[in-house]
A and B are shown apart, each in its own frame.
Chain A
Amino acid sequence: MRLLFLVFIMTFCFFTNSMQAQGPGEKITDDFDNVTLPEFFNRLEQKVPYKFYYNIDQVKTSVLKLSVKDLTLKEVLQEAFKGTDIRFSIDSLNKFIFITSKVSLTTDLPKGFFDNDMASASPRSDSLTNYDLDVKKATKATAGKLYEIGKKSNQTKGTVILTGNIRNARTGEPAGNVSVFTDSINATVTDAYGHYSLTIPVGSRILNVQSIGMKDTKLQLMVYNEGKLDVDIEEEIRTLKEVVISNKKTANIRNVQMGVERLTIANIKNVPTVFGESDVLRVVTSLPGVKTVGEASTGFNVRGGSADQNLILFNDATIYNPSHFFGLFSAFNPEVTEGIELYKSSIPAKYGGRLSSVLDITTREGNKKQLTGSAGIGLVTSRVHLEGPIVKDKTSFILGARTTYANWLMNLLPDEYKDSKASFQDLNFSVSHMIDSSNSLYFSGYFSNDRFSLGNDTLYGYQNKNANIKWKHSFTNKFKGIFIAGYDQYNYNVQSDNNKVNAFKLGFDIRQLSAKANFDYYVNSKHAFDFGLSTIRYDLAPGYFKPFGKESVVKYDEVNGEQAMESAAYFTHKFSPSPSISFNTGIRYSLFNYLGPQNVNIYAPGFPITETNRTGTVSYGKGKSIQNYSGPEIRFSARFVVSPTFSVKTAYNSTRQYIHLLSNTSIIAPTDIWKLSDPNIRPQKGEQVSIGFYKNLKSNTIETSVEVYYKRIKDYLDYKPGATLFLNHAIETDVLNTKGKGYGAELLIKKPGGKLNGWISYTYSRILLQAYDTTQGVLINNGEYYPANYDKPHDITLAANFRVNHRFSISLNSTYSTGRPITLPIARYYYAGSQRVLYSDRNAYRIPDYYRTDLAMNIDGNHKVKQKTHNSWTVGVYNMFGRQNPYSVFFVSENGRVNGYKLSIFGSAIPFINYNIRF
C-alpha cells in the first residue's frame, strides 16, 4: 500500500520534470558495526544530502556489519545489501532513496514518458516492420498494473493505434458495443465481434472500458507504439447498495452515422409485450420513425417505407418473414439474441438491396467457459437455450429453441373450426471457433416453421431456413476481412385434401445463395476504409397450384420460376480531419441481372401495361441475361461536434431495391408474393436527406435528439384496382409505378441508465404516393398525391422502466398514433342493372386513432451468485385500459344495406405471466 503511495508521490513529483539518470557523487568512508538498518540510514543521511524512505517493519530486524572507504553512496548501498533481498532506488533529482524488499523501484520514468515531442528512436517504417504482436491481456484483477504498449525500444511519437478484443470475463464471449476511450476525442466502440481500434497518443494514458451491465474498467497504459490489448471485463453483479453510475456514454454525440438505433436484449426485455414474450420486432416498432399498421402484423414501416423495404438480417442471413402466428410474435428467440441495430437513415454501404432500412439482429456467441442455459414458460410459448464450450476458450456453441402450444387458443374457436391446429417452432444454432488470434470461424443456422389449419381440411404453413458460414481474418492489425457464404430460403404453402377431387397444394418459395467479402482497413484516426463485394443469386418460384393426391382433378398451374443475380461492390471512407469533424462517404454500385429461363411479355411501348396492350411473349433460355439494371448508391454522412455534449449530423443516402413484395393488403401476410424486377418492373429507387441535432444533458445521463428527413421514392409498386396477385402470369398488368415523397421529424428524449430509465419519442411523418405516369392508364386519385397505406402522421411512444429495487422492477409502455388511412365506400348508386358502391378517393379516410398502455412487473429470485439456478417472473397486462383499437374497418352488404364494422385484435386487457429460469 505504502509502496503504491510512494509511486504516486514520485509520479506527482516528476510531473513537470524531464528525466535524467545519474548516481550521487559524494565519497563515503565509515565503519558500521552491528548497526540496525534504521540506524545505518540515519548515519548516511548525515553524510549525504539524501533522505531514506523505508518500511520500518521490513528493515528493523536486520543488523549490518560493514566497513567502507571512498565509496559512492550507490556503492555503499550495493555493498550493504549484497546477497540480501533488500533493494534500493536512488532518486538523484529529489535526493530520495527508497528501500524496498525484493523489488527495486524505478525512479526514472521511461523515456518519453512526459515528452511527446522527443525524437523518435527509430524510423516509423521500422516500427511497423519490426512490429511485435505482443498481445497483452488485462483483466479487472490486474487493473492496477501498468501496461506497456509496443516495444520501448521502438517508440514513436504522435498517435498510434491500439487494437484488441474485449471479452466477457465470465463467459469468454466477445463484448460488442463497448466504449473504449481515453478521453472524449480518442474514443471508439467495439464491433459485434468485440474488436476495437483506438487511436491514442503515445505516453501514459488511462484507458477506460465501459459498457452497460459491465463493471467499468480503467487500465493504466504506457504507450510506446502500436500494439494490441485484449481486455476481459466483468459483469456487474448487483450489490445491495445502490451504485450511482454516471454514464459517460457519448456515443450518440460521437457516432458519425445518424438515424441508427441500437438496443441490447436487456433493453428489449424491459418493454412489456403481449403474452409476456420479449419481442424483438415489437420493441423496434416503438422506436422513433418506426411504425406498424396494426397489431397482428410484424411488418414495420421505417420513415415512410413499406414493409418490404426493410432488410432484416439475422446473423447476416436474410429473413423474409420475420413473424410467427399471423404476426403475433416475432420469429427471433430473445434468449439467444444479443441486440439489434436499426439503420433508418445512413445505411452503411455494405448493406443494400432494400430501400428504407436495415435491421441487423445478432445472436450471442456461446459461453466459452462453461455450460449454461435458460428456459422460460409463458402462456403460449416455451423456450429453452443452451450454450457452452466445445473446446474451452476456443470453440463454443449456442442453441435456442422455441415452441408453442397455442392449440388451447384454437379450442376457443367456433365449432366449425374444432379441429384447428396452430403451432410454430424456431431453432437457432451457432458455433464460433477461434482458430488463432487472427482467424475465427462462425457457423450460424436458423429455422422457423409455422403450421396452422383451421377446420380440418386446409393446412397453411411457412418456413424460413437459413444457414451461413463466416470467416474472420485479420491480415494485419489494421486490415481485417470477413467472408460470408450463406443460403436463405423462405417458402409458403397451403394444402387441402378434404375433398379428394378438389384436393390441392399451392405455394411459393424463395431461395437465395449469397456470398460476401468485407474488408476493414483502419489507417489511422483520420482515415479508415471499408470495402467489399457481395452477390446474391435469387431463385424464386412465384407460385404453383397443383393437384394433391391421386383422385384430385384440379388443373395444374404454375408461374414460371424467376432467377436473378444481384451483385454489388462498395467502398466507404471514414475521414476525420479533426476530432470534431467526421465524414463517412460510401458508394455502392449494384448490378442486377434478370436471368432465364423465362417468358417475358412484351407490351406496346408508350401504352399502359395491360393485357389488352400485350403484343407478344419472348422466350429466353436458361442462364440467358434478360435485363440488367445497375446504378450507384451514395451513402454519405457527416458529423460536427460543437461541444462535447452537442453535435450536428447530416446525411444523404440513396438506395435501390430489386425485389418487391406484392401484397394488396397493408401488412405482410404470409400469402404475399415476392417478385423480382424484370423488363416490365423497374427497380425501386430511393433517396433521403436528413439532419439531426444531438444534445446530452445532466452529465450525459439524458440524451436528446431531433432528426428531420425528407425522402423520395421512385417506382414503388402500388396496385391497380382489383389486382389479382397469386398465380398471375402477367403480374405487371396489375401493378403500377408510383413515386413517393416522405418527410418527418423525430424527437427523442432518452435516459439510458439509472433507476428510472427509458425513452419518450414523438414522430411526425408523412408518406405520400403519386401515380404519375399517365401512360399507365387509370391513375389513382387522378394522379394526385395520396397517403400510402401506412401513413400515420403522429406517433408518441413512452417506454419506461423503474427499478424499485434489485429484485423488482416495473415497466410501462404507452403508445399513441394516428389511425392508418383507408378507402371507404361512401355511397351507393344504381348502374348497369344493379346496386353499386361508390368509393372515396384512395386512402381518403382514416381508421380511429390508436392508443395502448401496457404494464409489466419483473420479479427476480434471490441474487446469490453461487446457486444452481436463477429464476424470475414476469407478470403484466397488455392493453391495460382495454381500449378497443380498431385494426381494420370493413364493410359488408347485409339485407340490402352496407354495414361497417371495425375489428379490434386485442380488444380487452390481456394479462400474462411468464416464468424464466437460468442455469
Chain B
Amino acid sequence: MKKEFAYICISLLLIISSCKESYEPPNIAMPKPLLVVEGNLDPSGPVSIRLTRTVSLDKNNTVQAENNAQLVVEGKDNSIRNLTFVGNGYYKSAALNLAIGNEYRLKIITSTGKQYLSAFTKAQIAPAIDSITWRQQPEGVRLYANTSDPANATHYYMWNFTETWEYHSGFYSEVFVQSNGTLRPRILPAEDVHICWKSDSSKTVLIGNSLKLNVDRISEAQIQFVPAKEEKMSVRYSILVRQYALSKDAYAYFELLKKNTESLGSIFDPQPSEDKGNITCVSDPSEKVIGFITSSTVPEKRIFISNSELNDWRLLYLECMVDTVPKSTQRIQQALSEGKLPFQDMGGPMPYLFSLAPCVDCTTKGGTTTKPLFW
C-alpha cells in the first residue's frame, strides 16, 4: 500500500518538476571491497565456506571470489582443523567432527596476509525435519517445513533448499544439428533432448522461530512457493530442504539481512541499517566484514511431487509454434539463426519441422539430460 502511494507520489512530483536525473553518489568511501564470509561449520558433516568480496554498485552481477586464503577452524579446546581451497572462493573439508557444545571459530588469513576471526560459536545439533508438506492453492503450490525439538533447546531455525525438477520439451526431437550446421537423424536414446532435469537453490533467507509457542515446534514455515502452471511441477518436482539451528545472535543477523536486502531502496522505503555479523578483522578492527559463521548440524529431508498429484497443472506449450522449413541449406541456416531447431523430418522432399529451441531441446533451458542419482 505504502509503496503504491510512494510511486504515485513520485509520479506526481515528477510532472511538476520533470526532474529525475541520474545521480552518482559523491565520495562513497569504498576504497577496498569488503570480505564476505558465508558458511556453516557442520560439526559432523562436510564443511564448505565461501569467501567473496563486495563489488561496487554499478558493476554487473558478478561474484568476486576471494581465493588462496588459509582457513582454519579453531576450537576453544585448542584444536585446529584446516580447510582446503578448492577454487572460486570455496574452501572445503570432509567432516570436521566437532564436539557438540564446544565452541569453535573460523580463522582466515587472506593471500595478502590479513587476518580475520569469527566469534566463538557453539556447535549445535539441529533437530531433524519432521516433514516437508505442501498445499496447492489457486495461485500455486506452497511448500512448508515442519520441525520440532523435543529437548526444547533450538528455538531459532534457518533453512535452505535445492529443488530439482524434471521437465519435457514440447516436441520429441528426432533431428540432430551437427556442428557444421547440417542435419542428421538423432541417435536415440543417447542423444535424447526431450527429458531434462534442472536444479536451483533458495534465493531468500528462510528463518523461523518457536518463541511464541510453549513447545519448540515449527509448524508450516513456508520455504518455497511455485506459481501455478510453472514448468517446475509439469512432470515431477523434488525439493531437498536443509535445516540449521541458529543462535539468537545469528537469528537476529539473518532476520535483519532479510529485511535490509530483500528489497532495494526507494525514497519511501523504510530506512535500512547496517547489519553486523560475527566476523572481525584482527589486523584492522575498523574494517567491516560481512557474514555470520554458524555451527550446526544439517539434517536434510527430500520430498517429491508428481504432476499427477496436482489439479489442473498441464503445460500447453502455447509458445511452441511449428514451422516448416524446406530442405535448402540456406533456409535451414536462416531458421537456425532465428533460434529455431528441427525436430522432425517429414521425409523425402518434404520439409523439416522446426520450432523454437526450448520447445525442441530441453537443455536450452539450462537443464541436463542426466538423471540425478536420487531420482
- In angstroms, how far is the closest chain A Cβ from the Cβ of B48? 14
Nearest Cβ on chain B to A613's Cβ, whole angstroms: 7
Q: Does B160 sit within 8 A of A, measured CB to CB?
A: yes
State which of A460, A827, A898, A903 has its C-beta within 8 Å of the C-beta of B20.
A903
Q: Which of B276-317 contact A (CB under 8 A)?
A: 276, 290-291
Cα separation A70 to B330 with both chains bound (whole Å):
156
**Interface-located stretch among A250-258, A699-707, A790-798, A880-888:** A880-888
Bits for A826-861, please: 1 = Cβ < 8 Å to B, else 0.
111111111111111110010010000000000000
Q: By CB atoms of chain A within 10 A, which of B8, B55, B59 has the most?
A: B8
Which residues of the other chain, A, contact B275 by a CB distance below 8 angstroms?
A: 778
B25 close to A900 (CB less than 8 A): yes
Q: How far is the CB of A900 from chain B (nearest CB, A)?
A: 4
For the complex, is B240 an interface residue (Cβ under 8 Å from A)?
A: no
Q: A823 near B36 (CB under 8 angstroms)?
A: no
Give min CB distance, B124 to chain A, whole Å: 18
Let me know if A417 is at the binding interface, CB within 8 A: yes
Q: Is the CB–CB distance between B252 and A778 below 8 Å?
A: yes
Q: Which residue of B lies closest to A900 (CB)?
A: B23
In angstroms, Cα B53 to Cα A397, docked, is 72
Q: Does A905 contact B (CB under 8 A)?
A: yes
CA distance A892 to B63 in the complex (A): 20
Cβ of B294 to closest chain A Cβ, rounded Å: 12
Q: Chain A residues with Cβ under 8 A from B28's Cβ?
A: 824, 826, 840, 845
**B21 in contact with A901 (CB, 8 Å):** yes
Alpha-carbon distance between A845 and B4 when the two chains are bound, in angstroms: 27
Interface residues of B in 178-235 (CB under 8 A from A): 201-205, 209, 211-212
- In the complex, whether A569 has a CB less than 8 A from a CB of chain B is no
Let me know if A896 and B61 touch, CB within 8 A: yes
Within 8 A of B (CB), among A663-679: 664-665, 669, 671
Going nearest first, the 8 A-B pairs with the smallest beta carbon separation are A907-B19, A722-B259, A902-B23, A827-B54, A836-B261, A904-B19, A898-B57, A612-B211
Q: Does more than half of chain B's interface fall in helix, strand or loop, or is it mixed? A: loop
For chain A, residues 409 to 428, give those with C-beta under 8 angstroms from any C-beta of chain B: 409, 412-414, 417, 422
Question: Are A902 and B204 CB-contacts (below 8 A) given A723-B270, A782-B276, A890-B265?
Answer: no
A-B contact pairs, 16 of them (CB 8 A): A455-B8, A778-B275, A827-B34, A827-B56, A829-B55, A833-B203, A836-B260, A839-B260, A888-B267, A889-B25, A890-B266, A898-B58, A901-B21, A902-B22, A903-B19, A905-B13
Complex Cα distance, B212 from A650, in Å, reads 53
Question: Which of B26, B201, B209, B257 interacts with A836 by CB under 8 Å?
Answer: B257
Number of interface residues of B (CB under 8 A): 71
* A818 CB to nearest chain B CB (Å): 14
Docked-complex contact A833 and B21, CB < 8 angstroms: no
Chain A residues near B59 (CB, 8 Å)? 828, 897
Q: When the two chains form their complex, are residues B61 and A777 in contact, meaning their CB atoms are under 8 A apart?
A: no
Q: Tell me how far the C-beta of A901 lies from the nearest C-beta in chain B, rounded to whole angstroms.
A: 5
Q: Which residue of A lies closest to B290 (CB)?
A: A829
| Extra A-B contacts (13), CB below 8 Å, given A458-B8, A723-B270, A827-B55 | A612-B209, A724-B270, A782-B274, A829-B34, A836-B260, A837-B265, A839-B274, A840-B274, A884-B19, A897-B59, A902-B20, A902-B22, A904-B19
Residues of B within 8 A of A901 (CB): 20-23
Contact of A34 with B by CB under 8 A:
no
Given the interface contacts A458-B4, A836-B261, does A896 sit within 8 Å of B60 by beta carbon?
Answer: yes
Interface status of A891 (Cβ within 8 A of chain B): yes
Q: Assuming A831-B36, A837-B264, is B57 touching A897 (CB within 8 A)?
A: yes
Among candidates B26, B36, B212, residue contacting A611 with C-beta atoms closer than 8 Å? B212
Residues of chain A contacted by B10 (CB below 8 angstroms)? 903
Cβ–Cβ contact A665 & B272, under 8 A: no
Report how far A328 CA is from B58 CA in the complex, Å. Answer: 34
Q: In whole Å, how far is A609's beta carbon from the nearest beta carbon of chain B?
A: 13
Q: Does A41 contact B (CB under 8 A)?
A: no
**Cross-chain contact B203 with A778 (CB below 8 angstroms):** no
Let me know if B350 is at the binding interface, CB within 8 A.
no
Q: Is A526 an interface residue (CB 8 A)?
A: no
How far apart are the CA atoms of A891 and B271 in the complex, in Å? 13
Q: Is A454 an interface residue (CB 8 A)?
A: yes
Task: Evaluate contact between A904 and B21: CB separation under 8 angstroms.
Answer: yes
Instruction: Please name the residue on chain B nearest to A411 by beta carbon.
Output: B15
Q: Is B328 an interface residue (CB 8 A)?
A: no
Within 8 A of A (CB), among B226-251: none
Contacts of B23 in A (CB 8 A): 886, 889, 900-902
The answer to the question of B33 belonging to the interface, with a C-beta cut-off of 8 Å to chain A, is yes
- Judging by beta carbons under 8 Å apart, are A613 and B211 in contact? yes
A641: Cβ under 8 A from any B Cβ: no
B5 and A823 contacting across the interface, CB-CB below 8 Å: no
For residues 189 through 235 of chain A, which have their beta carbon under 8 Å from a beta carbon of chain B? none
Q: Is A893 an interface residue (CB 8 A)?
A: yes
Question: How many angstroms between the C-alpha atoms of A840 and B265 in the bound complex?
Answer: 12
Q: A634 an interface residue at 8 Å Cβ cutoff?
A: no
For the complex, give the distance between the alpha carbons of A613 and B209 in Å.
11
Q: Which residues of B contact A437 (CB under 8 A)?
A: none
Known: A506-B1, A721-B273, A907-B18. A891 touches B257 (CB 8 A): no
Cross-chain contact A413 with B36 (CB below 8 angstroms): no
A665, A719, A905, A908 — most chain B CB neighbours (10 Å): A665
A578 interfacial by beta-carbon distance below 8 Å: no
Contact of B204 among A296, A827, A834 (CB under 8 A): A834
For A455, list chain B residues within 8 Å (CB).
8
B268 contacts A by Cβ under 8 Å? yes
Q: Are B273's CB and A412's CB within 8 A?
A: no
With beta carbons under 8 angstroms apart, the residue of B205, B267, B271 that contacts A832 is: B205
- Within 138-167 of A, Cβ neighbours of B (below 8 Å) are at none
Neighbouring A residues of B58 by C-beta, 8 Å:
897-899
The reply to whether A827 and B17 contact each other, CB–CB distance below 8 Å, is no
Q: A412-B15, A611-B212, A830-B36 are in contact. Are A884 and B21 (CB under 8 A)?
A: yes
Q: Return chain A residues, CB-CB under 8 Å to B201.
A: 833
Residues of B within 8 A of A611 (CB): 212
B25 neighbours in A (Cβ, 8 Å): 824, 826, 845, 889, 900
The answer to whether A897 and B60 touch across the interface, beta carbons within 8 angstroms, is yes
- A899 surroundings in chain B (CB, below 8 A): 22, 57-58
- Set A413, A781, A828: member contacting B11, Cβ < 8 A: A413
A849 → B minimal CB distance (Å): 11
Q: Does A394 contact B (CB under 8 A)?
A: no
Q: Is A780 a contact of B5 with CB atoms below 8 Å?
A: no
> CA A777 – CA B276 in complex, angstroms?
12
Residue in A closest to B205 when the chains form the complex, CB atoms: A832
Choose from B160, B256, B271 the contact partner of A842 (Cβ within 8 Å).
B271
> Min CB distance, B205 to chain A, in Å?
5
User: Which residues of chain A come closer than 8 Å to B265, judged between CB atoms?
Assistant: 823, 825, 837, 839, 890-891
* Complex-state Cα separation, A889 to B202, whole angstroms: 31
B52 interface residue per 8 A CB criterion: yes
Contacts of B151 in A (CB 8 A): none
**Any B CB within 8 A of the CB of A726:** yes
* Binary interface encoding of chain B residues 80-93 relative to chain A, with 1 for a CB under 8 A from any of its CBs, else 0: 00000000000000
Q: How far is the CA of A886 from the CA of B59 in the complex (A)?
A: 25
Contact B34 A722 (CB under 8 A): no
Interface centre among B5, B22, B30, B261, by most A CB within 10 Å? B261
Known: A296-B13, A823-B272, A890-B265. A838 touches B212 (CB 8 A): no
What are the residues of chain B within 8 A of A422 when measuring CB–CB? 12
B9 at the interface (CB under 8 A from A): yes
Q: Is A833 a contact of B264 with CB atoms below 8 Å?
A: no
A850 to chain B, nearest CB (A): 14
